[in-house]
């Protein structure tokens, strides 16, 4: 199996706050992989480090065959096109319509015509299960579930190899959250994606993840399938899975 992400001995520190004290994990091509752990353990930070928005203190991260701590800016630019991100806060531009939000990267990084961009945007709107009319609305005019789908469509616009999702189902009602799980599984099949997802949502973890890493006390306390992870003796894992499934 081909590894597309390899995290080795990653240490993260913000001032005196040691967040990660030597993390090791890898993600295989085609997997839906989860980052789990208590609030503040550094899941979003690890994701931001992998997508080069945050620097690690030491260790190494290999992404699509590149060591990102040593990457040159031209190579960095090229691999930036190969992932899409759905941030915890969605990060949609409020002054742009949904369609304009989705179109933005195509306008900035490609030489496609306005007509071609329109077609791609329409396709992405469709593939995430929004209506074409929704594309004409502003973020303030759509529901939380629709915002997630809009941000997902934007993340998919450059046909990425890897999709990063930071708590995609948080804030959604249970029905929308399950729809989102189904959507992620469908997109993985349809678009040959690998997915890295931060999640607190036990049902979503159960429905979608192939493997996962649990971060607690600054390190990875378990990595593997749900079954393997549940076998591990860690206070966080026992509490998380037992309370959640009760
Ligand atoms: N840019 C930053 N500057 C300083 N500290 C930061 C920065 N980003 C994150 N941190 C700190 O790193 C730690 C981990 O934060 P992070 O947002 O990664 O947690 P998380 O696991 O995603 O939590 P949650 O589940 O609540 O989203 C926190 O203590 C946070 O204060
Ligand atoms: Mg977070």
Q: Which atom of ligand 1 is nearest to the CA of 41?
A: 21
What's this model's pTM, rounded to 2 decimal places? 0.93
Q: Which of 18, 44, 90, 200 to mutate to test the pocket of ligand 1 (most atoms within 8 A of CB)?
A: 44
Q: What is the structure's pLDDT at 173? A: 87
Ligand nearest to the CA of 216: 1
Q: Which of 42, 166, 197 to mutate to test the pocket of ligand 1 (most atoms within 8 A of CB)?
A: 42
Please say whether the dihedral angle defined by the alpha carbons of residues 163, 219, 170 and 54, taken in this order, is positive or negative.
negative
Task: Give the integer Cα–Cα distance in Å for 76 and 68.
Answer: 8
Mean pLDDT for the chain overall = 93
Q: What is the structure's pLDDT at 244? A: 58
Output the ligand 1 site: residues, CB below 6 A.
14, 17, 19, 39-45, 88
CA atoms within 13 A on the CB side of 66: 18
Task: Give the integer Cα–Cα distance in Å for 112 and 120.
Answer: 10
Report DSSP letters for the chain, one per residue. Answer: --EEEEEEEEEEEETTEEEEEEEEEEEETT-EEEEE-STTSSHHHHHHHHTTSS--SEEEEEETTEEGGG--HHHHHHHHTTEEEE-TT----TTS-HHHHHHHHHHHH----HHHHHHHHHHHHHHTT--GGGGGS-GGGS-HHHHHHHHHHHHTTT--SEEEEESTTTTS-HHHHHHHHHHHHHHHHHHT-EEEEE---HHHHHHH-SEEEEEETTEEEEEESHHHHHHS--HHHHHHHHHHH-
Helices 144-155 and 114-127: crossing angle, nearest 10°?
A: 130
> What's the pLDDT tens digit per position in 47-82?
999 999 999 999 999 999 999 988 888 888 888 889
Query: Beta partners for 36?
Result: 214
Of 153, 140, 143, the C-alpha closest to 99 is: 153
Q: Which atom of ligand 1 is nearest to the CA of 198?
A: 22
Q: What is the structure's pLDDT at 197? A: 96
Q: Which atom of ligand 1 is nearest to the CA of 88?
A: 27
Residue nearest to atom 26 of ligand 1 (CA): 39
Ligand nearest to the CA of 40: 1
> What's the pLDDT tens digit per position in 165-206?
999 988 888 888 999 999 999 999 999 999 999 998 889 999
Q: Which of 10, 12, 19 to mutate to test the pocket of ligand 1 (most atoms within 8 A of CB)?
A: 19
Q: What is the structure's pLDDT at 239? A: 85
Ligand nearest to the CA of 46: 1
């Amino acid at each position: 199996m081909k590894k597309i992400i390899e995290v080795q001995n990653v240490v993260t520190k913000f001032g005196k706050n040691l967040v990660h004290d030597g993390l090791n994990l890898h993600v295989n091509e085609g997997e839906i992989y989860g980052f789990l752990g208590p609030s503040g353990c550094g899941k979003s930070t690890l994701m931001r480090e992998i997508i080069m928005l945050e620097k690690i203190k030491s260790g190494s991260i290999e992404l699509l065959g590149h060591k990102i701590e040593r990457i040159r800016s031209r190579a960095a630019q090229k691999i930036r096109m190969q992932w899409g991100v759905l941030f915890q806060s969605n990060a949609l531009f409020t002054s742009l319509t949904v369609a304009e939000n989705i179109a933005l990267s195509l306008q900035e990084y490609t030489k496609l015509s306005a007509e071609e961009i329109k077609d791609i945007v329409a396709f992405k709107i469709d593939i995430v299960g929004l209506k074409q009319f929704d594309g004409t609305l502003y973020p303030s005019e759509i529901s939380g579930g629709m915002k997630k789908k809009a941000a997902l469509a934007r993340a998919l616009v450059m046909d990425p190899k890897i999709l990063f999702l930071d708590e995609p189902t948080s804030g959604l009602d249970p029905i929308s959250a399950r729809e989102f799980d189904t959507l992620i599984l469908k997109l993985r099949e349809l678009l040959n994606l690998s997915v890295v997802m931060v999640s607190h949502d036990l049902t979503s973890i159960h429905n979608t993840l192939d493997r996962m890493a649990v971060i607690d006390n600054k390190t990875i306390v378990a990595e593997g399938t749900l079954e393997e992870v549940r076998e591990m003796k860690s206070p966080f894992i026992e509490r998380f899975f037992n309370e959640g499934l009760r």
